[in-house]
Amino acid sequence: MRFASFRYCMIISATALGAVSAYYFFKYAFLNVALNNNNLTPDLESSIRALWLAFACQGALVAVLYGIVASRPHAVSREVIVLLGLLHLVESVLQFGFSGSKVVAGLLIFTALFVLVGALLWPKRIDPISAPPVPR
């Protein structure tokens, strides 16, 4: 039961963070148009584009990591997962403060809470005989 709850927490976190990442990849086209219509210096435009895409890629990669951890918890240490969960809390505060995007900030809070609950449910040791089979 504990292993299944842990797995669900990590899968929900991966899905929510994947949605945030997909949102930022989708909104990049709008950002590109907005930056082309402003009179910003080229280095500032490039930096904004790079940071936007870096945030989207970071979310996608961490979502993949959460997916891996859902099936193999000890592939990554518990401390790394806790730090990543806390990172999402910081990102959500920045989203609330600067962009006003309540949906994205809510998804980041949702992700962080499920990651931290998953860290509390982290399986201590998986016995290969009694562990539930991994669906393929």
> Could you tell me the residue ranges of all domains in the chain?
2-120
Written in H, E and C, the secondary structure of 27-58 is HHHHHHHHHHCCCCCHHHHHHHHHHHHHHHHH
Q: Are 131 and 26 in contact (CB under 8 A)?
A: no
Task: Give the model's pLDDT for residue 125.
Answer: 62
Pairwise CA distance, residues 115 & 71, whole Å = 14
List C-alpha distances in Å: 37 to 4, 32, 41, 52. Answer: 50, 9, 12, 17
Tokens 């584009």 sit on residue: 49
Mean pLDDT of the 15-41 span: 91
Distance of CA 86 to the CA centre of its chain: 11
For the chain, give the percent of residues with pLDDT over 70: 90
Residue 28: pLDDT band (50, 70, 90) is very high
Higher-confidence position of 67 and 118 = 67
Amino acid identity of residue 62, one-letter, is: V
pLDDT tens by residue, 57-113: 999 999 999 999 888 887 888 888 888 888 888 888 877 777 777 788 888 888 888
